[in-house]
Amino acid sequence: MLLDLSGRRIVVDCGLGVTRGLVEAGMALRELDLIFITHLHSDHVLELGPLIHTAWAAGLNNPVTVYGPVGTSALWNGFLISLAYDIEKRIEDEGRPVLSDLVTVKEFGPGIVAELDDFTVTALRVDHPPVTDCFALKFEVAGRTVAFSSDTTYFPPLADFARGADLLVHEAMLPEGIDRLVARTGNGARLREHLVASHTFAADAGRIASAAGVARLALNHLIPADDPDFDESHWRAALAETFSGELIVGRDGLVIPL
């Protein structure tokens, strides 16, 4: 996800496809600046190293700061080791800046994550078992606030955390969609248990948004995301009784003005 806040471009999570997504959103990769990681599940970090490396190969020459939970440093250092051959060659042969010097990883816990120029980022530990370091994030700048649930099961403290936000981005799943997803994959019962314990049904995402008093709710991290039998109308119907504000159903490439 790309957040454009008072002229700073902020990448939130780096799942597969993030690099292409940023380019398609019109971002020059060499402008990469700030990255926030909510937790270390692969759909949030698989492309962290590749994104930074691709930006570097595209001419990145300014510092990049990666904020993430404990383990983010190890992930980045592991990526540097895995690409050591290529990185050394490009520094020697192409005169590129030393990649490890360009990137700073700052691991965070709950509370204030960063106070940068004119904005503040705060983290709330959410409930996403078996991951314990999983954080909702709130970005506040010049009187505007955006909150991200990250991955979480229904977690009422999120409502306090997001109170008064101009936009809440919350993950969501559809009960009917899960039945089909579970039927399609091999490890059905186990997968269902994980989904129900670790993610939020759409109606409950609406409850969080209503309790937080936010006017706009964007659903993302949709489960299922790729089932042609479920479209926007299903998501709207799922929230009809729990949220009456402006509902935005997320999809790749969607732009939401603040």
Where do contacts with Zn ion occur on this chain (CB under 5 A)?
A: 41, 43, 151
Q: State the minimum distance, in angstroms, from the CB of residue 225 to Zn ion.
A: 11
Q: Distances from the Cα of 78 to the Cαs of 63, 197, 252, 254, in angstroms?
A: 19, 30, 29, 32
- Which residue in 204, 161, 167, 156 sits closest to 4, CA to CA? 167
DSSP state of 131: B
Angle between helices 202-212 and 232-239 (to 10 degrees): 50
Residues of 206-243 as b/e, b for ≥16 C-beta within 10 angstroms? bbbbbbbebebbbbbbbbbeebeebeeebbeebbeebb
Least gap, CB of 13 to Zn ion (angstroms):
8
Q: Output 122 or 149, the one with its CB closest to Zn ion.
A: 149
Give the chain's count of helices (H) and strands (E). Answer: 11, 12
CB of 112 to Zn ion, least distance (A): 23
Amino acid at 210: S
Provide the minimum distance between the beta carbon of 151 and Zn ion in the complex, in angstroms, as a whole number: 4
Give the Cα separation of 39 and 68 in Å (integer). 7
The nearer residue to Zn ion, 119 or 230, going by C-beta atoms, is: 230
* CB closer to Zn ion out of 140 and 151: 151
Distances (CA, A) of 71 to 18, 40, 51, 67, 121: 20, 8, 18, 11, 19
What whole-number distance in Å separates Cα of residue 223 and Cα of residue 151?
Answer: 11
Min dist. Cβ of residue 31 to Zn ion (A):
26
Q: Which is nearer to Zn ion, 42 or 233 (CB)?
A: 42
Of 40 and 121, CB closest to Zn ion: 40
CB of 43 vs Zn ion, minimal distance in Å: 4
Indicate the residue among 130 and 143 with the shorter CB distance to Zn ion: 130
